[in-house]
Chains A and B, each alone.
Chain A
Amino acid sequence: MALFDKFAPLLKHYADVNAAGHNPFKVNIEQVLSPTEAMVNGRETLLVGTNNYLGLTFEPECIEAAIDALRREGTGTTGSRVANGSYEQHRRLEEELADFFGRKSAMVFSTGHHANLGLLSTLAGPHDHLVIDADSHASIYDGCKLSSAQVTRFKHNNPADLDKRLGRLASLPGEKIVVLEGIYSMLGDRAPLKEMVAICKRHGAYVVVDEAHSLGVLGRHGRGLCEEAEVEDQVDFIVGTFSKSLGAVGGFIVSNHPEFDVLRVACRTYKFTASLPPSVMASVRAALGVMRKKPELRLRLKANSKLLYDGMVALGFQVGPEVSPVVAVHLPNLEMGVRFWNMLLESGVYVNLAPPQATPNGVTLLRCSVCAAHTKEQLVRILDVFQAIGTELGLLQAPARRVAAQ
């Protein structure tokens, strides 16, 4: 077997997807115009699949801070903090993150993926147990794979199943570390955190919560699901990313653990990667400030999410189980998903196509992510386009028949 033969099934899958027109996994954004608009295939396109929840990618304060840092500290750090040292931006960003979360320590990584990979693979030794939700993000699975720990999955968002599996592990040596997510990225559903954290504590397990999709979205101050569920004091490690609500790139961990700092010399994804460029960190710090100063962004995001979610339900689409900035429209199969996605793009609406391989229970999703910067007119237009295509493809009743049926 030749080196690349193993990829034949994957190539066939992408060829099938490609056959319908544009390739959903190779979209060329010719020019970004704003947090909600870009030029794609020469057409002005509404962006509804970018995880840009607070719409801060064009925030003047963030842009100015980045430019200033670029001029003062240069384009990049050209190496890891262990080798090249920490810049003022690293130290201040970590102080500000720790302050925002009310924790003793914060540690910044070059991506959110690196944060999960580093934390899980470093924290859990060969005799320890990582206990993860079956629908965990790829970075959590990868962190488990890279670790030498024992790894147990529990049924998605199922506290009784978590309890049962932790019970089975009780007689085995080693620490138990349970990994949960604030908002799950595909369906937009949130973990029943209060109940799950109580179960973890009853079993003496450590708790890690990944707030990648819930930072800036949930909680009175935007600290995520831990804040909203009032369990922050019982959660040992919070992981997050700068690439969604904070509009840049990078990842972090915050904790109150007194020995947390040892991870700086133990964690390979921290030690052996070039650290974030000063300009990125400056924009993240500014975004953190904007997020704290403007709670109205979160409120607008909430209202926008409700408008899109309720609108999809009213049209007759099946969506995720609860209102969230991730509005996941279910389609009957991948073929229909690819057709629908292409027609959306041709109509100037960009969403994410999530194929069965990437979703819980192998469903096909048109995954929309709502932005605080979406206007009501834009959201209504998205719904109109979904309705027109859904009707044309026979997935929705034609409006006239719907009226007649009432």
Chain B
Amino acid sequence: MSVTDDEILPAVIAALEEATQHKVPVTPATVLRQDLNLDSLAEMDLIMALEDRFDVSISINHLPEIDTVAELAAMIAKMKKG
């Protein structure tokens, strides 16, 4: 599926809300591990789903560098540009 940069952030937020069953409000400033209470396995599964959503590869070794939803969206945008 083709996605523009502007669409990435809302799509990441929607995917996170779905993954957390809409229990927590998700904003660009939401901190993944702390605010969404994701353990490492849940976080890796979420990355796998986002890889499929945006047709990119996101190395799990980059996860420690990502704190917020905005940073995650920025990383996906960067990956999409290759």
Chain B residues near A (Cβ < 8 Å): 39, 41, 44-45, 47-48, 51, 55-57, 59-61, 82
Contact = CB atoms under 8 A, between A and B. Distances in A.
B82 to A, nearest CB: 7
Contact of B59 (A152, A171, A362): A152
B64 to A, nearest CB: 9
Given A153-B48, A155-B48, A171 B61 contact: no
A28 B40 CA distance: 30
A168 B57 contact: yes
Contact of B57 (A144, A155, A169, A357): A169
Interface string A105-134: 000000000000000000000000100001
B60 to A, nearest CB: 5
Contacts of A148: 61
Tell me which of B39, B41, B56 has the highest count of chain A C-beta atoms within 10 A of its own C-beta: B41
A318 interface: no
B57 A152 contact: yes
Given A152-B51, A165-B57, 11 more contacts: A148-B61, A149-B59, A150-B57, A150-B59, A152-B57, A152-B60, A155-B48, A165-B51, A168-B51, A168-B55, A168-B56
B56 A151 contact: no
Interface of A: 129, 134, 144-145, 147-153, 155, 165, 168-169, 171-172, 357, 362
B48 A151 contact: no
Given A134-B44, A171-B82, A151 B60 contact: yes
Nearest to B56: A168
Contacts of B59: 149-152
Nearest to A171: B82
Contacts of A362: 41
Classify the interface of chain B: helix, strand, loop or mixed.
Answer: helix
Contacts of A169: 57
Classify the interface of chain A: helix, strand, loop or mixed.
Answer: mixed
Contacts of B60: 144, 151-153
Contacts of B45: 134
B61 A134 contact: no
A144 B61 CA distance: 8
A163 to B, nearest CB: 13
Contacts of B48: 134, 153, 155
21 contacts: A129-B57, A134-B44, A144-B60, A147-B61, A149-B61, A150-B57, A150-B59, A150-B61, A151-B59, A151-B60, A151-B61, A152-B57, A152-B59, A153-B47, A153-B60, A165-B51, A168-B51, A171-B82, A172-B57, A357-B41, A362-B41
A168 B48 CA distance: 13
Contacts of A152: 51, 57, 59-60
B57 to A, nearest CB: 5
Contacts of B82: 171
A362 B47 CA distance: 18
Contacts of B55: 168
A357 B41 CA distance: 9
Q: In the A-B complex, list the 9 residue pairs whose CB atoms are closest, starting with the nearest.
A: A150-B59, A151-B60, A151-B61, A168-B57, A151-B59, A152-B57, A169-B57, A153-B48, A153-B44
Nearest to A360: B41
Nearest to A169: B57
Nearest to A146: B61
Nearest to A131: B57
B11 to A, nearest CB: 18
A313 B38 CA distance: 35
Contacts of B61: 144-145, 147-151
Tell me which of A149, A168, A357 has the highest count of chain B C-beta atoms within 10 A of its own C-beta: A168
Contacts of B51: 152, 165, 168
A165 B51 CA distance: 9
Tell me which of A145, A148, A151, A357 has the highest count of chain B C-beta atoms within 10 A of its own C-beta: A151
Contacts of A147: 61
Contacts of B57: 129, 150, 152, 165, 168-169, 172
Tell me which of B39, B47, B48 has the highest count of chain A C-beta atoms within 10 A of its own C-beta: B48
